[in-house]
Amino acid sequence: MKRTIFEKLGLSEKETKIYLALLESGAISVRGLANITKINRGSVYDILKKLQKKGLVAFYHHETKQKFIAEDPEKLKTLIEEKERKLKTAKSDIEKIIPELRSIQEKNGQKPTTKFYEGRTGIKTILDNVFEILASEANTEKEYYVYSAKEASEDIKEAYPNFTKDRIKQGISVKAISLAGGGRVSGLDQRRWLGTEQNSATFILIYPGRCAFISRDVNGVPVGVIIENEMVYETQKVIFLQLWNLLEK
């Protein structure tokens, strides 16, 4: 029997040992349990009290002795139900204080926060963040801006094959400036070309309150950075739109 399941239910190793011993032995005294489990009597008694509070153990008096017995194993389900109830309550409480926590975080909005990511999983995290921010109720913008680069575009496709499809599904628009040639429109997107012969290896995403950079390290591994700062975002957005208006369709 895999005892790790009991750990997931919140039982310690000793609690599990005593509970299983009770199931096997039936009604038994503290001394009897101590002999079977090789745990000292004081600890056995304390553990039995904990198991009793969890609804897994009952006791009765037989003559002058107190004996303990395991409850029906179905009672284990109540531990799961209790955990689910507590998690549901915790989730509700967290949702209530998230606005307050964000308010605290935004007080430091003038200090850019930089987060680093690596590999396809890291790139996927960045792309998920783009959707998360643009889809949030607090955000009124449903558009972001991109400087597209061929190498990084390939990494993005590998990290998140359905990125474009999911973007369109969520009604999110994008303006993209391709640094070199290539690229095509897929829906809810506009594209213009800078026409440079040099193809930058860095893909840049500009979205509310953030700028993300996706590239490769010296070993060819995809890497990414998110800079969280409203002023940096607004500056990069202005530069992008000025360049956008200068380029021909």
State how far Cα 44 lies from the chain centre: 39
Q: Which of 34-48, 97-111, 190-204, 206-220 has the lowest mean pLDDT?
A: 97-111
Q: Kindly report the pTM of this predicted structure.
A: 0.59
pLDDT of 8: 84
pLDDT, one tens digit per residue, over 112-170 is 789 999 999 999 999 999 999 998 867 788 999 999 887 788 899 999 999 999 999 99
Structure tokens at 136: 């949030």
Give the CA distances from residue 39 to residues 3, 19, 188, in Å, rounded to whole numbers and listed in that order. Answer: 18, 13, 68
Look at residue 34 in the predicted model and tell me its pLDDT: 92
What pLDDT score does 128 carry?
Answer: 96
Whole-number average pLDDT of the chain: 88
Tell me if the domain spanning 4-77 has CATH number 3.30.565.10: no
Cα 145 to chain center, whole Å?
25
Instruction: Find the range with the poorest average confidence among 77-86, 95-104, 177-186.
Output: 177-186
Topology annotation, domain 111-246 = Endonuclease; Chain A (3.30.870)
Q: What is the mean pLDDT of residues 175-181?
A: 84
Task: Give the tokens for residue 132.
Answer: 């998360």
pLDDT of residue 106: 67
The domains of the chain are located at 4-77, 111-246
Task: Report the half-sphere exposure of 242 (CA within 13 A, side-chain side).
Answer: 6
**pLDDT the model gives residue 198:** 64
The pLDDT, as a whole number, for residue 3 is 77
pLDDT band at 99 (very low <50, low <70, confident <90, very high): confident
| pLDDT digits 0-9 by tens, 199-239 | 667 899 999 999 999 999 888 899 999 999 989 999 999 99
